[in-house]
Amino acid sequence: MTTKKKLSRGRAERLLSSYGADINRYPRDEINQARRSFADDPELQSAAAEVAGLDLLLDMSQVQVPSSTLRRATAEIPLRHPRLSTRPPKTMVIPFPLRTWQATVLGLLAGAMGVIMGLRPATAPGLPEDVVQIGNSTAHNSRTEDTGDLEELASLAFADDFAFTDDSNLTDFEGASTL
Amino acid sequence: MEERLQHNEWMRDIAAGDPAAFRSLCDRFLGPITGYAGRMLKNPQEAEDVAQETFLRVWTHSRSFVPTAAVSTWLYRIAHNLCMDRLRKHKRTSDRISELGDEDRPSLLLGRKELAAEVDRALAELPDRQRAAIGLVHYEGMGQAEAARILDVSVQALESLLSRARRALRKQLTGLQLSEPSP
């Protein structure tokens, strides 16, 4: 013998207040029980009739439909955002043996370090302080007639703020610290 | 169930870069997603922006889709989160309706268009999460589990949101009637 279960009054009222009068909106496993409960209970039926009025009003709300512009823009998404590759490579491809690759990287690093060390301004012992050694060559930094033009141009451009001083080199002028 | 399998197949093809599968997904879901965003935002242009952004994310993030959830759940969740982001930015309040004077209050008998506008206005006045719950369950016809998943709440919490939303709507719309018979 099968007992046809019904919902408790509280649960039936809860379903009405949450989902409205349309039983098809109720949780699937409670639909049959709800149907039986409403069929046998005039109070629930009148409560459902009242709630159905709100359902009808809600159904009057108008839904926005996509414009043709939106349809076009959406359809163009794959064109405007092409996939670079549909499948990423599983492993990194190294075009030559690993030992050679490692040696090349180390060599490049060492070379870069050497260049950096060689380019660093340093005053060689025995040279005047205004002579800067760059690699094997030397450059004299004292003011010459050539830098006189530069000074004139700088004073025209920056007034007195960036004028060269007697004991400064080309990269150390007044006002630089404020930049 | 068959529909869900079809959606999963589209997603698999989209993940492989198939524009035709993307178009099929758009044909199926662009309308509902735009409608949902329209109800949430009450701004047609913003709703369209959200819909477009949703499908752009589908295209660019299709590989992150895990078929344990329905494609529709994933789509609505993206759209819902985008809507909530915009609503948070705008901090929409119910000031507009409270500013209306008595002369703006609706009469009891209204034409179909006016009544629909009143319903839309009442929906717009709901707190965002309540409006989302009504939108998904009443208008999109979504099941409880799916709607709860999109809103990231339990089914009990969803029912609570729905119940409060309907109570508020009943209060706002009480007494309104259609002045003309239904066609």
**A88-114 pLDDT, tens per residue?**
444 444 545 556 677 777 788 888 887
Q: Return the residue of B nearest to A11 by Cα.
A: B159
The answer to whether residue B84 scores a pLDDT higher than 90 is yes
Chain A residues with CB-CB distance to B59 below 8 A:
77-78, 81
Under an 8 A CB cutoff, do B173 and A57 touch?
yes
The answer to whether residue A11 scores a pLDDT higher than 90 is yes
The answer to whether residue A79 scores a pLDDT higher than 50 is yes
Question: For the residues A123-151, what does the mean pLDDT come to?
Answer: 46
Q: Return the residue of B nearest to A59 by Cα.
A: B139
The answer to whether residue A125 scores a pLDDT higher than 80 is no
- Give the pairing of strands A131-134 and A137-140: antiparallel
- Which residues, other chains included, contact A73 with Cβ-Cβ below 8 Å and sequence gap of 6+? B52
Q: Is the ipTM of this complex over 0.90?
A: no
Query: Which is nearest to B174 in space by CA: B128, B118, B93, B103?
Result: B118
Query: pLDDT tens for residues B15-27?
Result: 999 999 999 999 9
State chain A's mean pLDDT as an integer: 70
Interface of B with A in 32-61 (CB under 8 A): 34-35, 37-39, 44, 47-48, 51-52, 55-56, 59-60
pLDDT of residue A159: 43
State chain B's mean pLDDT as an integer: 88
Query: Which of B14, B23, B48, B158 should be substituted to probe chain A, the one whose Cβ sees the most A Cβ atoms within 10 Å?
Result: B48
Under an 8 A CB cutoff, do B37 and A25 touch?
no
Q: Is residue B182 classed as helix, strand or coil in its secondary structure?
A: coil
What is the DSSP code string of B152-180? TS-HHHHHHHHHHHHHHHHHHHTT-EESS
Question: For the residues A25-47, what does the mean pLDDT come to?
Answer: 93
Instruction: Tell me the whole-structure pTM to 2 decimals.
Output: 0.67
Question: For the residues B66-90, what does the mean pLDDT come to?
Answer: 93
Q: Give the model's confidence band at B70: pLDDT under 50 very low, under 70 low, under 90 confident, else very high.
A: very high
pLDDT of residue A118: 73
The answer to whether residue B42 scores a pLDDT higher than 50 is yes
Q: How many CB pairs under 8 A join A and B?
A: 105
In angstroms, the separation between the Cα of residue B102 and the nearest Cα of chain A is 22
DSSP state of A160: T
